[in-house]
A = this chain, B = another copy of it.
Amino acid sequence: MEQALIDWLRARLPAHPLLTLGIGDDAAVLDMGGAAECVVTVDALMDGVDFNLQEIDRCRAGRKALAVNLSDLAAMAAEPLAGVVALVLPKSGGLELAKSLYEGMLPLAEKYGLVIAGGDTNSWHGPLVVSVTLLGRVTPRGALRRGGAKIGDRILTTGAFGGSILGRHLDFEPRVAEAILLNERHELHAGIDVSDGLSLDLGRMAAESGCGAVLDLDKIPIAEDARRLAEQSCDGGTALDHALSDGEDFELLLAVPPAEAARLLVEQPLAMPITEIGEMVAERGLWRRTDSGEKCPLAARGWQHELD
């Protein structure tokens, strides 16, 4: 990392009890605080794809790069510990951009007790790329996986879906505290965060669990943004379409045994609503429940990086 940026960062990073050796060496050394297992996740964000630096405050790009990774830890019900940040900066104005990105990250890191342990800073003639890797540790109940859903489990969600492109995709709150609380106090079979689209990510959870999922479409909690987007856009997409496929909601999608789900729906232990939207079923694939109670195939839609 460039020395000027190292010095700037060192002055801004609060001390962290678990960080044995921080920024400035070849690697960071982190005390795992007694945890036997380490949870690790990485996500890279690109200018022009995940945000547009010409249109937004650059701090928000930095915040998003960290928040999407926090959401992955939330999906595992893991407690954030440390992060390392690789920056690929445009040559011109790179140092100021790097500072802005970190200024977006640092308050969020502090909020979640996460220490920025190290980084790598590069420059080139291309657009910005921010790659964040986070380390976490699981709580005593263990990691919440995608693949643990069982037939008959109820599908629960936090919050509401759709239209995040209107701004929420930058400023969302990762469901870290919510996931840890739910996993500690309740019996959850599986979980995923909705990053690429409610239907797409539900399909992934079902596939990893070796079963299918049926949605009650009239129960999907639709975000106000989804309604606004449906009104604004000319592509004929309804608010429900947006809720099912927009992605970047970063809400939790959980598979919960029926009795536990019933308790959760009554207790409502979170600041945002928990909603039941469907059920895991034996028949693989994604389905919607018709008015007569039968299953009809539903296309999983959402954001995918197309590779050819």
Contact = CB atoms under 8 A, between A and B. Distances in A.
Interface of A: 2, 4-5, 20-21, 24-32, 34-44, 46, 48-49, 72-73, 75-76, 78, 82, 84-89, 91-95, 98, 117-127, 129, 131, 133-136, 138, 143, 145-147, 192-193, 208, 304-308
A122 B25 contact: no
A84 B133 contact: yes
Contact of A133 (B40, B98, B146): B40
Contact of A44 (B5, B28, B120, B307): B120
A59 B42 CA distance: 22
B126 A127 contact: yes
- Of A48, A94, A126, A134, chain B has the most CB atoms within 10 Å of the CB of A126
Nearest to A131: B131
Contact of A208 (B24, B49, B85, B118): B24
Given A72-B27, A308-B94, A308-B95, A88 B129 contact: yes
Nearest to A304: B2
Given A86-B131, A122-B49, A40 B94 contact: no
13 contacts: A32-B38, A38-B135, A40-B84, A44-B120, A44-B131, A49-B122, A89-B307, A92-B308, A93-B308, A95-B308, A121-B305, A121-B307, A133-B133
A26 B136 CA distance: 12
A56 B5 CA distance: 32
Contacts of A135: 38, 40, 135
Contacts of A76: 25-27, 29
A42 B305 contact: no
